[in-house]
Structure 1
Amino acid sequence: MDCCGPDKPCAGGVTPSAQSSVAGTDALVPDGAARLVLLIRKMDCPTEEKLIRDRFQNMDGILGLQFNLMQRELTVQHNLMSVDGIVQGLEKLGLDPLVKSDSLDMARADAADHHDLSGDYRISPLTWMLMGISGTTAIASELVAWTTGVENSWPVIALALIAILTGGLDTLKKGWIALRHLSLNMNFLMSLAVIGAVAIGQWPEAAVVIFLFAAAEMIEALSLDRARNAIKGLMAMTPDTATVLIDGVWQSVAAARVALDTVVRVKPGERVPLDGVIVSGQSTINQAPITGESMPVDKQTGDSVFAGTINERGGFDYRVTALQSDSTLSRIVRSVQQVQGERAPTQRFVDQFARYYIPVVVILAILVAVLPPLLMSQPFQPWLYKALVLLVIACPCALVISTPVTVVSGLAAAARSGMLIKGGIYLEQGRRLKAIAIDKTGTITSGKPAVTDVIAVHGDEDQLLQRATSLARRSDHPVSVAVAAHWAKGADALFDVADFEALTGRGVKGRIAGESYYLGNHRLIHELGICDAELEARLDALEKDGKTVVVFATAQKPLLIVAVADTVRAGSAAAIADLQSLGINITILTGDNAHTAAAIGGNVGVVDVHGNLLPEDKLTAVDELKTRYCYVGMVGDGINDAPALAKADIGFAMGAAGTDTALETADVALMDDELGKLAAFVRLSKRTHAILAQNIVLALGIKAIFLVLALAGEATLWMAVFADMGASLIVVFNGLRLLRSSRAN
């Protein structure tokens, strides 16, 4: 069964049609290419993207162009000796570029740091004043024309000209630039419509049209900034200063200057400025900015703390483990910002549709203006007016901007809830999941088992446990950690271990006092050929009680049985039931024995349970699930389960806060150990897809209605502008609903 397709991610989450994750890469770029990143502060719409692409894509030395409209970023891969030509070319297009980074000239990039590179849209007092004059005079021209019944009198023309010059000069300038570069964009079409209205004597309408367009563009840019800055709000939670110990004195210094291993003090009520590990004191900390947890978490010596979290109760000192720029919060923000340029399946469809939409409507407008007067002897002016209305309707901005603003809002909403989604494709495709495979240890269970039984088979129990612990302390497997923790006589009483070796999926082995020993699971004992009927019965009895059993043995005989039990996480059963209510099949995969796996599965309501699995067995299990359910997720720790995570359509890493590997390898990183976030992710994906569909229907529906009204002669120019820009605002605000829902959650 082949589940891949143009809009369905294959193994690893990569779609056949999306070899590059960032929009605009037309070819594979050589590894040695120079890289220029520019902030285009006047790039809000595909209008500007098309203008830039038409200007630069065929320029010698340009190897690739990547556009991120939501961040107003343009990335250029090139092999030029200087980027001055690129910057000057953008300035001639009137796009006000600023260099964010330049691999050719790091000094130039550093100098750019002194500029405001936020990309936020700001309206100057002068602009507000000019827009006020434009709106007032445009309305006044309409009132004078309506009261006098003359639309081309000198008072009407004078008021209309003032409105056009104060509110529409920037649009007309952009339209002229587009004309010079033969680019069919909204500014050109709007300028043409205004000039056409003036040519046929519709001065008041030309004034109102240009004012409405300029005002709507301002509102749209301000609205889009809400989506752009949604994730940036997280960084505002990190304090600018930290109280550090310098020469025995506690001093306040800039957090950005604090070095690794510095000791920082946090008082009750303060925010943690940097990531670190507590060295003295204890407290409860609100970790919502990182994990989305609603309840504070108890912290004590040895526990990790994260920048941006809130110290609620006691004071503590901690050692810094990451610079401010490398904190978990900073990495979350960077990750979301980087994936904002990616195209989700719906977005790729919309972009492709818009490419053909404008030329088709423009050709239709030309035919409407020309054919009726030529073929049916109709008067020219009414049909020209209808054609001008069609030109306004030709703008696809509402359609194209609807998808990125929705996807970015969804990514930001997820980050606020403790879910780091590594691209719009995973956010949109999460709704398609039909099965999720979950690694048991550390996800369904706490991952902190404790010893419940110690049974000597041959020899003295205490001496055998001493040797078993000597082996166990060399391993970081949860069962080995439990065995080592059970030893109460201190590390000094343990033996040195030589030739230590981890046996993947089985246990460990090593030499103690010149003799080889093994500490492993049921599978290992069978492979050694020392599991007789009596031992088999003992092991089965313990495993049926839901315990994980390891045996300390030589190559000739078993010596000691140690049973450990892992506790099921509170809420695991409810979280799995929630997923099942969404129609998702749950499968448990574990390296534990089949009896223990079945017992855990029974506790949480899962029937499909697979035990005794090696990492490659989990990979095979995920592959089999894909043949049955097509879209499959895998939940693991991001390290040991890496092959299975990569094979799944969407890989989830649990408890990823502060874990570099999990943040890098997973498609979706759940920042805490809350399994319930899986269902929240699926629901967010469903809401995102629903809003994407609503926006497409709204944008196309409004245009279809006005297309019919224009051809019937019932739509005016200002109505068309109002409808077009109104549609843009509607879809933007509709997409922003995802941000409001994240606050409610």
Structure 2
Amino acid sequence: MDARIETTRFRVEGMDCASCATKVDTATRRVSGVEDVSVSVVNQSMTVKHTPDADLADIATRIGNLGYPTKPVRPSGSAGIDEVKGEPAVHMHGDHDDHDGPWWRSRKAILTGACAVALVAAYLLGRAVPGFGHWAFLVALLVGLVPIGRRAIAGALAGTPFSIETLMSIAAIGAVIIGATEEAATVVLLFLVGELLEGVAAGRARASIKGLADLVPKTALLADGDQIREVPAADLTVGQVVMVRPGDRIPADGEIVEGNSAIDEAPVTGESVPKSKGVGATVFAGTINTDNALRVRVTARASDNTIARVIALVEEAQESKAPTERFIDRFSKYYTPGVLLVGALVAVVPPLLFGQGWNEWVYKGLAILLIGCPCALVISTPAAIAAALSAGARRGLLLKGGAVLEQLRSVTMVAMDKTGTLTEGKPVVTDIVALARTDAKVLAMAAAIETGSSHPLALAIVNRAKADKAPIPPAFDLKAIPGKGVSGNVGGESVSLLSLEAATRETDIPADVQARIAAFNDEGKSVSVLLAGDTLVGVFAIRDEPRPDALAGLAALHDKGVFTVMLTGDNERTAKAIGSTLGMDVRAGLLPEDKQRIVKELQAQGHVVAKIGDGINDAPALAAADVGIAMGGGTDVALETADAAVLHGRVTDISDMIGLSKATMSNIWQNIALSLGLKAVFLVTTVIGVTGLWPAILADTGATVLVTANAMRLLAWKGSRGKA
């Protein structure tokens, strides 16, 4: 047999809780050739690793028999036909509803409505013709119970005998046997109402991710020479140029090649103030062009743009289980059979050993079966994690799974790279010392000979001139002086911008200027000296400055009791200058293996370490840390190695990520306490005869809905920026 392993993704409709996922998982694993299965309730999808000869049609049929219509799908952006049914395959991204149309047209809603109508009709018939009441309620019961019973049988044949459908079917049939037909029919209706409400609540989490996909417009205006034509945004290829009109959403990740406009990034980043962007600036799919028409060169296909990567990472994360979720899954495998045993003992022991009435204790045993339904318990963790992952993604916080989300709350030490993490990653002119000329004149002369250069220091000077609106005159005879600087002719005057060492060879530098330069060096700033002929006319201090929110981000971490340290490959003087500004410990001059070693040393001291970085040299340390977090705009290597990513490069987002973890775990424990607490209360009241079948199913349904609603509160999480 061919030993190659293939991967197929399936669309599985109607899954609303972890119990559903368990049944689907178990049934799939029993198919010959299936090697591994990963089920996502939130995405209503299943990923199956299998041998080439595995029968995919059999997988779809088996799961369909459980009540979850299933078919294979292809990834978004790929071509091809569904090989199993010969139908056009469907896109995964942005397709998260379990049916077409509103929830009240779903199969669950139709079945619930039919059962309700049958129950009302039975009640009216019973009042009109009392002799037919029992039979009318029996028919009403069968309307809802037959589909439930079929799913229970299919589940038992597929390897899940102790399902909620099994408990429900036993309880309903038992109630009929002891003459409680009217109550049994009502209980079945309440069960269906609970399932429907559960599905509606779960749909909110799916809608959150679907909302991300909907940010990207469906069409784009392709600039083809002088012609502008409308094309599907999904068909755009790298290198094509699109026109974006004012008010339009940008259809793809790209780079502005013509125009200048304010870009509203709030839909993607949560930033409330639009950013002014011009030629050469990067723009993201889904953001809004507010002012002027732009031409944008596409830099990523639809399947690779920022939104698509966010969705893919969130979907992947939601299929990965947290430790708490795995524990509850294992617990529920013993819990449900245990409930059946307890229910049987309650029904049988008092009549057999103590001469109690059979009807009374069988009734109580059936009520305990309903109380023991594990839905609320098993959904408590995945619902909260799914909502948290979705909320985080909307704020630009990507976490690769529930395990990462759970681990973050325990972080005690954050080790951060300097360049591109704590700082902007691009030098800026911090100080200008003008001698014998005005600041504007000195800046204009320097910008003139640096225009056209891609060197970071040159860009810093040109950008400062543009920001200060200093006129940049034309320069001639430009030439680079290797290891020294650059020179040219500006307004008939020979001008050169040199390193301090090169400048001292060309002219004398006064003592007071030398003192200023020494002070700049102590602050970790690079210095360039401007000469006109052989006359000193200006000094520029340049440094990669801390991000605007760096101090606030570090303060937020300290407020949570988290320690911080800077790990950088930069020289010690520059690193300590930035560290002093930010008030943090510094380890400088480090190679990649040094960063990894220090992370391990911190772990040996008992710290749970999160490593933050954005470059290839951070990858070993990111991998070694308990949680590796890549900063936005980082290298692909850093993003792949990391457990999480901060897309928008805000230092405050690190604290927010930890805060999201703590809020999620708090929500999970609330859910567990709520589900088990309600069951414990109704277990006692049922045994002592205070409550019966109706309150029992209401306890289960109510707990499930309450737990799901509580978890969905996390969808509204905004982080520190939402509190501002």
Give the partner amino acid of 2:597: T
Summarize the alignment of residues 170-185 of structure 1 with structure 2, pairs less than 5 Å apart: 170-180=147-157, 183-185=161-163
The residue that corresponds to 1:353 in the other structure is: 331
Alignment of 1:315-464 (within 5 A): 315-450=293-428
Amino acid at match of 2:648: D
Instruction: Return 395-404 or 134-143, whichever deviates more.
Output: 134-143
For the residue of structure 1 that corresponds to 2:409, the secondary structure is helix
Structure 2 residue aligned with 1:633: 610
Within the alignment, does 1:711 sit opposite 2:687 as a pair? yes
Question: Is residue 98 from structure 1 mapped to residue 71 from structure 2 by the alignment?
Answer: yes
Instruction: Report how far residue 158 of structure 1 moved.
Output: 3.6
TM-aligned CA distance change 1:708 to 1:143, over 3 Å: farther
Equivalent positions of 1:500-511 (< 5 A) are: none
Within the alignment, does 1:686 sit opposite 2:686 as a pair? Answer: no
Q: Which moved more, 1:314-323 or 1:482-491?
A: 482-491
2:714 aligned with 1:728, yes or no? no
Q: Is the 8 A contact 1:213 1:721 kept in 2?
A: yes
Distance 1:673 1:60, change over 3 A: closer
Q: 1:486 and 1:390 mapped to 2: Cα distance?
A: 74
User: CA 1:490 to 1:692, structure 2 compared with 1: closer, same or farther past 3 Å?
Assistant: farther
Q: Structure 2: how far apart are the matches of 1:69 and 1:739?
A: 16
* CA displacement at 1:384 relative to structure 2: 0.9
Mapped pair 1:545 → 2:523 = yes
Contact 1:270 1:310 in 2 (8 A): yes
Distance 2:477 2:34 in 1: 63
Give the AA of the match of 1:735. A
Amino acid at match of 1:174: R
Residues 9-48 of structure 1 mapped to structure 2, 5 A cutoff: 32-48=4-20
2:247 counterpart residue number: 269
The alignment partner of 1:635 has SS state of strand
Deviation by residue 1:206-250 (Cα, 9 ceiling, x = unmatched):
111000001110111111011122112011111111111224211
TM-score calculated relative to the size of structure 1: 0.79
3-state DSSP of counterpart to 2:279: coil
Distance change in 2, residues 1:434/1:540 (3 Å): farther
Aligned partners of 1:76 and 1:343: how far apart in 2? 16
> How do 1:498-577 residues align onto structure 2 when only pairs under 5 Å count?
543-547=521-525, 564-577=542-555
How many residue pairs get aligned? The number is 650
**Does 613-622 or 322-331 show the bigger shift?**
613-622
Give the match for residue 557 of structure 1: none
Contact 1:139 1:208 survives alignment (8 Å): no
Partners of 2:81 and 2:89 within 8 A in 1: no
Query: How many Å separate the matches in 1 of 2:600 and 2:180?
Result: 66
1:101 Cα offset (Å): 4.1
Structure 2: which 5+ runs fail to align? 434-445, 466-473, 484-497, 502-514, 530-538
Aligned residue among 214, 224, 227 for 1:236: 214
- 1:337-379 Cα offsets, whole Å, 9 max, x none, are 1211110121112111111111111111111122222211222
User: Which residue does the alignment assign to 1:85?
Assistant: 58
Is 1:652 equivalent to 2:629 in the alignment?
Answer: yes
The Cα offsets for residues 27-53 of structure 1, whole Å up to 9 and x where unpaired, read as: xxx982122322221333344444445
- On the 8 A contact 1:288/1:418 being kept in 2, the answer is no
Give 5+ residue unaligned stretches, structure 1. Answer: 1-29, 455-465, 498-518, 523-536, 552-560
Cα gap change, 1:318 to 1:159, in 2 (>3 Å): same
Query: Contact 1:90–1:97 at 8 Å: present in 2 too?
Result: yes
Give the Cα–Cα distance (whole angstroms) in 2 for the partners of residues 649 and 381 of structure 1. 57
- Percent identity of the aligned residues? 38
- Aligned-partner Cα distance in 2 for 1:641–1:298: 31
Q: How does 1:93-242 map to 2 (within 5 A)?
A: 93-101=66-74, 107-109=81-83, 111-113=86-88, 118-122=95-99, 123-124=104-105, 128=109, 131-138=112-119, 154-180=131-157, 183-242=161-220
Q: CA deviation at 1:691?
A: 0.2
TM-score, normalising length from structure 2? 0.81
Q: 1:579 to 1:179 in 2, by over 3 A?
A: closer
Determine if contact 1:540/1:595 at 8 Å carries over to the other structure: no
Deviation at 1:129, TM superposition (A): 5.9
CA distance in 1, matches of 2:259, 2:119: 67
Residue in structure 2 matched with residue 642 of structure 1 by the alignment: 619
CA contact (8 A) 2:73 2:89 kept: no
Q: Give per-residue Cα distances to partners, 1:459-500, cap 9 Å, x unaligned.
A: xxxxxxx9xx99xx89x8x67976999999789623789xxx
Return the alpha-carbon distance in structure 2 between the equivalents of residues 434 and 614 of structure 1: 24
How far off its partner does 1:126 sit? 8.1
Find the aligned partners of 1:142 and 1:47 in 2 and give their Cα distance. Answer: 33
Alignment of 1:59-70 (within 5 A): 59-70=31-42
Deviation (angstroms), 1:309: 0.3
Change (3 A) 1:266 1:181: closer
The question of 1:256 aligning with 2:253 is answered: no
Spell out, residue by residue over 1:494-520, the C-alpha distance to the aligned partner (whole angstroms, 9 max, x if none). Answer: 3789xxxxxxxxxxxxxxxxxxxxx99
Cα RMSD (Å):
3.7
Q: Which moved more, 1:429-438 or 1:253-262?
A: 253-262
Correspondence 1:668-687 to 2 at 5 A: 668-687=644-663
Q: Conserved in 2, the CA contact under 8 Å of 1:285 and 1:311? A: yes
Cα displacement (A) at 1:272: 0.3
Hey, what does 1:528 align to over in structure 2? Answer: none
Matches of 2:412 and 2:715, distance apart in 1 = 26
- Summarize the alignment of residues 593-612 of structure 1 with structure 2, pairs less than 5 Å apart: 593-606=571-584, 608-612=585-589
Structure-2 change in CA distance of 1:431 and 1:130 (3 Å):
closer
Deviations 1:403-435 (A, max 9, x none): 111111111111111112222222222111111
Note closer, same or farther for the CA distance 1:717–1:581 as it changes in structure 2 (3 Å cut): same
Query: CA shift at 1:165, angstroms?
Result: 3.4
Once the two structures are TM-superposed, the CA of residue 75 in structure 1 deviates from its matched residue by 2.5
- Distance, in Å, in 1 between the alignment partners of 2:183 and 2:143 is 16
* CA drift at 1:204: 1.2
Distance in 2, Cα, partners of 1:380 & 1:709: 19
1:615 is displaced (CA, Å) by: 2.2
Classify the secondary structure of the residue corresponding to 1:71: coil
Contact 2:96 2:210 in 1 (8 A): no
Structure-2 residue corresponding to 1:312: 290
Deviation at 1:203, TM superposition (A): 1.4
Q: Which of 575, 579, 599 is equivalent to 2:557?
A: 579
Q: Displacement, 1:180?
A: 4.9
The structure-2 alpha-carbon separation of the partners of 1:65 and 1:434, relative to structure 1 and needing over 3 Å to count, comes to: same
Match of 1:21 in 2: none
**Does structure 2 retain, via aligned residues, the 8 Å contact 1:453–1:564?**
no
Q: Secondary structure at the match of 2:228?
A: strand
Contact 2:119/2:186 (8 A) holds in 1 = yes
Amino acid at match of 1:494: A
Write the distance in 1 (CA, Å) between the matches of 2:333 and 2:108.
32
Letter in structure 1 aligned against 2:82: R
Change over 3 Å in CA distance of 1:180–1:64 after alignment to 2: closer
Once the two structures are superposed, residues 660-718 of structure 1 have per-residue CA deviations (whole angstroms, 9 ceiling, x without a partner) of 44432322211122211111111111111110110011111111112212222222112
Per the alignment, in what secondary structure is the counterpart of residue 587 of structure 1? strand
